[in-house]
A and B are shown apart, each in its own frame.
Chain A
Amino acid sequence: MASATEVPARPAYLDRPAVRILTEALGAERVTHVSDWRGDLAITVKRDAWVKAASLLKTHSELDFRMFLDLCASDYLDNRDDRYEVVLHLYSISKKHHVRLKTTVPEADATIDTLCGVFKGANWFEREAWDLYGVVFKGHPNLSRILTHDDFVGHPMRKDFPTGRRFVNKKTKEWLLQVPPDSEHPVVNIGPSHPAMHGTFRIQAVMDGETIQDAEAEIGYMHRNFEKMAESRTYWQIIPYTDRLNYCSSFMNGHGWALAVEKLLGIQAPPRAEAIRVILSELSRIMDHYVCIGTNVVDLGAITPFFVLFRVREEIYELLEACCGARLTVSYVRIGGLAADVPDDFEARCRKLVDSIRQYTLQADKLLTRNPIFNRRFRDVGALGKDDCLEYGWVGPCLRGSGIAYDIRKDHPYSGYEQYDFDVPVGTVGDCYDRYLVRMAEIEQSLRIIEQALGKLPKGPVIVDDKTVALPPKDKVYTNIEALMNHFKLVYDGILPPQGEVYGYTEAANGELGYYIVSDGKKCPWRVKVRPPCFNIYQAFPQMIKGGLLADAVAIIGGLNIIAGELDR
């Protein structure tokens, strides 16, 4: 029994700059809780200090959290004093650190001040939090439904909202923009069923001749409730759902999910599994860039590069199919490793594939990079400056196209990326052409990583030897009572992580794909929030096309590589 005089040592994280500066500026009574669990610094402040705390984190020179990552709400029902919680994730490019700022919102007065004045990117995130949780953001310029349709009643992500309750929607919202009735300028509606909008995005633009005067985007045409479904699934049952977030590179989503859950559990996959994950992730990145470039130029009227790139995509599919049996939605990762080892001829096939990818990429490069028509459509179109990129929370090739060399594989290596030698290509102007060049250069860098990983592919198991996380091998289940019991227990009870919350992030094909997981210690997560790269990127789209030509909007949207499954989840 501890004696009364024994004072526990003051945790070191209380001296972290963010905590110190916030406590000094807001007063100790406004900073209600600080924690540093699994390396995630989380600071809870009182609701009345919310905007001040966020702007301080952004502007203080010692902190410099200028990159807006994510904002979401969570519902804790009766488990806490205040029912709702609003969570903000920020990152600092210069200091290379993350922070999670939280505040609580009571049910009786579910309101909070908006952060739209601090971060431009907060706009859509706050609309989403209101749409799904009903937390009102005071002072928000346009607090309307964003993911669900207009006939929807209630806020579906609340814990007391039944998962299957649907409302019929018979009419699409007709006007996204307010146009005076006597306006001389026509309104052009593009999408959602428009070839350039890929079936699910919608833009309305007020035209002045060929020039776009004003534009507004609408999303939600693909909102299929990943987060709600995740709350009633066990951790491994969520893996197939993650495959369908960014379905152009589905392996990477599962990879990110597995890493986030492994962070929550405090385990690490064996080296062989990590190396295979890296190889397949890089192949997925190449596939994703192929779809982006291929469909982008199809929208502009060039179909040959599409055929060239999809030809080699088929070869990547064949390799994935050999590994796990599926072409597109692979479901190959498991928490703590991989579902099965790769086939024996994996290395040889991979090397052949790398050659083939080089050859086809060169072919596409010859068709496009110096093509005068392509150049005229892409150069100096849709440029976005560095500051705006950070405010909106741009990530991945789009951010690097604007000249910021932020790549999680380099800055916060995971899965052993620190062992591989590769470059981070960056653009200069930030126009469509730069984004295209960055993608083409990344394909080559990914090939370099694959070759290095193949060169030192370790031997050994592909999943952790932990009976509370990984299913025992099938041959043991059929022959050994202990393995059978473990199998039964794990299938019946699921993986039981400790209570707590983590933010796991990886560099997916479109940029930082984050999973914010709140665990209450049961077999299903309490809350899962995906930080989708596309959501931030697409949010800037209406602003980018203003003042440009309508035809340029088509070139821009293809180059941003917005994937609906990830955008709307």
Chain B
Amino acid sequence: MGLLDVLRGKFVDPTHYPSVHEGGDIITTRLDAVVKWGRKSSLWPMPFGTACCAIEFMALSASHYDLARFGAEVLRFSPRQADLLFVAGTIVDKEAPVLKMIYDQMPEPKWVISMGVCASTGGFYRSYHVMQGIDEIIPVDVYVPGCPPAPESLIAAVMKIQERIQNGQQAKSAQRAQKLGSPGDAWIDRRSRRDAWGKEDSERAAQGLPPGGVLPLVPEAPKKEDHHG
């Protein structure tokens, strides 16, 4: 099998299949096809694991299921080094600003997998302190159902992300905002909640301030008297 056969089908557009020049050691293709191919085959995930799903995520990254087979074994615990955010576990309101900051700190292009029903919709925690799906605050590319999802479905999600990368797709805004629960105090209006996040942030942005849910990246240095004066 020649190099061409190996690479055939790896790139996005069938009209831009690589062609091999004389001797077989030079290949031409489109740059973005190569870039996307490289990106999808070397995902660096950041596991934002909070609960039960994180245990299954560990199982995914451990020896039996071995995420390394998909080129995504380099787990980074710093968002600045990662391009795939795994939100594994329930996100509660107290955790929300942390998650938002982590997402904002990731460099573009970035993708988000919402693992499990808690991260996707709040799951069976319809309650006073649980975020009813992380898409209230950050966009999500792939939702994985299950409580917790089996590692196989996570592998499917990673493959789905690879497909999206190849197709150049990315979730740009929070999706699937809808009302949940019965009317009254228990009514959870995800759209209005999401808008509340977004609206105030745009006002703050107009004043040149960082978004409201985001901690200042560098804590203010304590003011000191000048000793040398």
Contact = CB atoms under 8 A, between A and B. Distances in A.
A39 to B, nearest CB: 33
Given A164-B126, A183-B222, A241-B124, A311 B63 contact: yes
B128 to A, nearest CB: 5
Contacts of A194: 77
Nearest to A303: B62
B127 A565 contact: no
A314 B49 contact: no
A195 interface: yes
A223 B148 contact: no
Interface in B210-229: 212-213, 215, 219, 222-225
A contact residues, range? 35 or more
B124 A170 contact: no
Interface in B108-160: 118, 124-130, 147-148, 150
Nearest to A321: B150
B209 to A, nearest CB: 12
Interface stretch (A93-101, A224-232, A489-497): A224-232
A229 to B, nearest CB: 6
A221 B147 contact: no
Given A195-B77, A224-B90, A164 B59 contact: no
Contacts of A172: 94, 97-98, 215
A124 to B, nearest CB: 16
A301 interface: no
B146 to A, nearest CB: 10
Contacts of B147: 329
A222 B215 contact: no
Interface in A164-209: 164-172, 174, 179, 181-183, 192-195, 198-200
A329 B127 contact: no
Given A148-B129, A192-B98, A247 B222 contact: no
A contact patch SS? loop
Interface string A303-315: 0001100110110
A199 B90 CA distance: 11
A169 B97 contact: yes
B138 to A, nearest CB: 13
Interface in B93-115: 93-98, 102
B49 A199 contact: yes
A281 B185 CA distance: 40
Nearest to A167: B93
A221 B95 contact: yes
Contacts of B150: 327
B50 interface: yes
B20 interface: no
Given A162-B185, A169-B96, A221-B98, A306 B62 contact: yes
A340 interface: no
Contacts of B212: 170-171
B51 A564 contact: yes
Given A171-B212, A306-B62, A314-B64, A164 B128 contact: yes
B94 A165 contact: no
A335 B125 CA distance: 22
Given A168-B193, A244-B51, A221 B94 contact: yes
A457 interface: no
A565 B97 contact: no
Nearest to A196: B77
A240 interface: yes
A199 B48 contact: yes
Interface string B160-197: 00000000000000000000010011111000010011
B34 interface: no
A244 to B, nearest CB: 6
Contacts of B148: 328-329
A281 B186 CA distance: 37
Nearest to A309: B62
Interface string B47-64: 011111011101100111
Given A152-B129, A194-B77, 12 more contacts: A149-B93, A166-B130, A170-B96, A171-B212, A192-B98, A193-B98, A221-B92, A307-B62, A314-B62, A327-B150, A329-B147, A564-B50
Counting from the closest, the 8 A-B pairs by CB-CB distance are A164-B186, A310-B62, A247-B52, A162-B185, A225-B127, A149-B94, A170-B213, A181-B222
Interface of B: 48-52, 54-56, 58-59, 62-64, 77, 89-90, 92-98, 102, 118, 124-130, 147-148, 150, 181, 184-188, 193, 196-197, 200, 212-213, 215, 219, 222-225
18 contacts: A149-B93, A165-B185, A166-B128, A169-B96, A171-B97, A171-B213, A181-B222, A183-B222, A195-B77, A200-B50, A224-B125, A229-B127, A240-B124, A310-B62, A310-B64, A311-B63, A328-B56, A329-B148
Interface of A: 147-149, 152, 156, 161-172, 174, 179, 181-183, 192-195, 198-200, 220-225, 228-229, 240-241, 244, 247-248, 250, 291, 295, 306-307, 310-311, 313-314, 317, 327-329, 564-565
